[in-house]
Amino acid sequence: MTEFKLIEASGGGRPKVAGLAYSGGKMNLPGWKHPVVVELAGMEIPETVPLLTNHENRTDARVGMVKASIKDGVLEIVGEIVSDSQAANDIIAQCKSGADWQLSIGADVKECELIKAKREVNGQMVEGPFYLVAKSILREVSVVAVGADASTRMHVNAQFKLNNIEGEAMNIKEKTNTPDGVEKAPQVTAEADLAKPQESPEKPAEIKAEAQPDIQAAAEKAAQSAIKAERDRVSRIQEICNGEFPEIEREAIKAGWTPEIVTKKVLETLRAERPAAGVNISVSAEAEGPELRKNIEAALCLRCGISPDDLEKSYGPKSVEAGMRDMEMPLKQLVLECMRLDGIPVSGRTFDNETIRAGFSSVSLPGVLSNVANKKLLQSYHAQPIIATKLCSTGDLNDFKESERFRLTDVGDLQPVGADGEIKDGGIMEESAKNQIETYGKKFVLTRKMIINDDLGAFMKVPVAMGNRAARLIDQLFFSRLLKNPVQLDGKPLFSAAHKNLLTGATSALSADSLKKAIQIFLDQVDADNQPINVEPRFLLVPTALKHAAIELTRGATLIMGGGGTGEQVVRPALNVLADENLQVVSSPYLANSGYEGASATAWYLFGSPGQVDTFEIGFLNGKHSPTVERGETDYNTLGLWFRVYFDLGVREQDHRGMVKSAGAAG
């Protein structure tokens, strides 16, 4: 194990440092879902890097300068402490008393990927999953009390040269480990430096006699320092435990733990469910610009109940992990963060109306809220079942004008080819229908009261409701058009005897016989050349009152019938032939809703598959198949931020041959 050493040079020279900064293995870092491994081969290393304390980007936090190098798959550093700041003096002083320090690196990430399988990195096999930082730039090395990478746990050893009159050097011995791996306080002894000069042959006994008092004095001084260090250690342990952790206190004093280890043990006890590791590597510690905005948006989305898996597709795993840390961010803090993003001064501000107005004037705040509201609206929109999308095809329109929707229809059968090889002319004719898009919308507001009360839930209820209503709007437009039975381009109603797609009278009530009749007239539909279109019905659309009767008719293995009108028993096969039609029953409350013109509790319909035959078309503007949330114009008279929801769509019938209606009652 490579040691981090602090060597206090003689003659007032600067103390030297050396150690292992990164072992090349896994690190569990706050804010990352999986362990992180930095590929040393892809790390750019400047000629010199600053030695900091605890990754703090302050001038007084820089205590030295080091040079880093990669050797045998690990990152080593050598350098010196150049500062006489309090932080630097504390490091030196604690080294003298036997304190244990560790190193930590700070790097900027250039390339990162999630590795799910085993992979060799830095000369060692690493089990997935883990994040591989393939390219990075070393920015700094920090002295920290506790590190996350167990492989880089280092001892700090203060070596003091105590020169006697012959130049002999005395050293304080390094700290030792007990068999159980617990670090103990240093044992201070005096021993001769290996590089001491040879004794003079002229007066060896005399020189030794002179040197002995100095050696003894140095040893006594070192022993006194060790006793003082031990007393300080015990006192510090008692201060940390504060009488609340007696077992830790007893074990720490007995086993020789350093105060840093005791602090770690106390934190582990207090937060048993959370990792108590310090930061071993600082990877782009502070997000900025677009990255910070993504983190904020991810945090708000998580707070609103959008799943992390869905968000990873939009923001990536790193932003989602950052969002998990900040998902409890209050709305007040959101306003301030967005002001910082746009360079609006926030220092010293009290959170008052002027601050809220400044936040509303930013670009980031409405942009973040619009994106989050959009995602919440779409979640609600897609969660709402829509019947019309099963029965209708979809189409894209370029504008809001009424558009012709043309279908090409073959005319003329294939004819025998004569002896002369001549192929007879055929023909294609166009059949047209129409569709037209309208815009539907509403607006809502984030008020000053919501921000002060941190009421994000009240604000998000609006896009949730809007998404739900946008989905229902499609069904509302479809059923409104269907029940009105509008007149077509040929001057006849959509469902009519002329179109051969309407059953009326008492015998049209839903039953086995009426359903068989409706299927027959559906199959008998012909094209413009009077040829069968050969399309089968796929959906049986009924009011909710007929739902279970429809299921019994279409799914039962047998169909039991009563007697005929004369009182005689009618013999029928014990087989439900309607089950073989593979009709899907679809029920809707719109069909019998009195708020819609033409509503009926008895009428039912057959629809063909929209992929085979045109029925109704749901038209969208330029391929936008969902509603949109965007920032509206701010009303000066309202202390709030307006948003609007709008949806461009239109629903029109296309071909009467894809549908059959049964009135279900006489008249």
CB-based burial label for 600 (10 Å; 0-12, 13-18, 19+): middle
Report how far apart, in Å, the C-alpha atoms of 325 and of each of 148, 269, 271, 316, 320 are: 19, 22, 16, 15, 9
Do 340 and 242 fall within a single domain? no
* SS3 track for 272-320: CCCCCCCCCEEECCCCCHHHHHHHHHHHHHHHCCCCHHHHHHHHCHHHH
Strand partners, 237: none
Provide CB contacts within 8 A for 314, sequence distance 6+. 375
Whether residues 479 and 524 fall in one domain: yes
Q: Is residue 507 located within the same domain as residue 547?
A: yes
Note the pLDDT of residue 159: 28
Distance in angstroms (rounded) separating the CA atoms of residues 92 and 582: 84
Do 334 and 377 lie in a common domain? yes
CATH number for the domain that contains residue 10:
3.20.16
Residue 297 burial by CB count (10 A; 0-12/13-18/19+): exposed, middle or buried? buried
- 5 within domain boundaries: yes
In a domain, 23, yes or no: yes
Residue where a domain stops, chosen among 218, 251, 278: 278
Domain boundary among 230, 255, 278: 278
Question: Which tokens is 185 given?
Answer: 């306080």
Residue 617 lies in domain = 386-409+436-560+571-667
The candidate with the shortest Cα–Cα distance to 613, out of 541, 537, 542, is: 537
In a domain, 422, yes or no: no
Full DSSP string of 20-54? EEE-SS-B--TT-SS-EEE-GGGEE--S-EEEEET
pTM metric for this prediction: 0.53
In a domain, 426, yes or no: no
Q: Which residue has the tokens 């949730």?
A: 464
The two tokens of residue 166 are 């012959």
Map residue 629 onto helix, strand or coil. strand
Q: Token pair for residue 173?
A: 């011995």
Provide the number of structural domains found in the chain.
Answer: 4
φ/ψ of residue 130, rounded to 5: -160, 160
- Kindly state whether residues 441 and 479 are assigned to the same domain: yes
Within this chain, do residues 118 and 174 fall inside the same structural domain, yes or no? no
474 and 651 Cβ atoms separated by less than 8 Å: yes
Q: Which pLDDT belongs to residue 10?
A: 52
Same domain, yes or no, for 405 and 535?
yes
Do the beta carbons of residue 67 and residue 47 sit within 8 Å? yes
* SS3 state at 230: helix
**Do 544 and 654 belong together in one domain?**
yes
Residue 419 lies in a domain: no
108, amino acid identity: D
CA distance 381 to 88: 59
Determine the 3-state secondary structure of 191 from DSSP.
coil
Does one domain contain both 119 and 221? Answer: no
Q: Do both 519 and 667 map to the same domain?
A: yes
Give a yes or no: residue 249 inside a domain: yes
CB-based contacts of 607: which residues, under 8 Å, 6+ apart?
Answer: 391, 537, 538, 539, 541, 615, 658, 659
Angle of the 331-341 helix axis to the 353-361 helix axis, nearest 10: 50
User: What is the predicted pLDDT for the residue at 187?
Assistant: 34
Q: Residue 219: what pLDDT?
A: 57
Same structural domain, 233 and 301 = no
Residue given tokens 């109940």 in the structure block:
305
Pairing of strands 604-608, 156-159: unpaired
CA separation for the pair 582, 550 (Å, rounded): 12
What are the DSSP calls for 538-562, one per residue? EEEEEEGGGHHHHHHHHH-S-----
Q: Two tokens at 642?
A: 């307006």
In a domain, 44, yes or no: yes
**Any domain includes 423:** no
Query: Which stretches of the chain drop beneath a pLDDT of 70?
Result: 1-12, 30-31, 97-100, 146-223, 270-288, 347-349, 404-415, 423-432, 557-574, 632-639, 667
Same-domain check for residues 273 and 295: no
Identity at 55, one-letter amino acid code: H
Distance in angstroms (rounded) separating the CA atoms of residues 406 and 432: 4
In this predicted structure, what is the pLDDT of residue 426?
55
Give CA–CA dist 318/283, Å, rounded: 11
Q: Of 229, 263, 278, which residue sits at a domain end?
A: 278
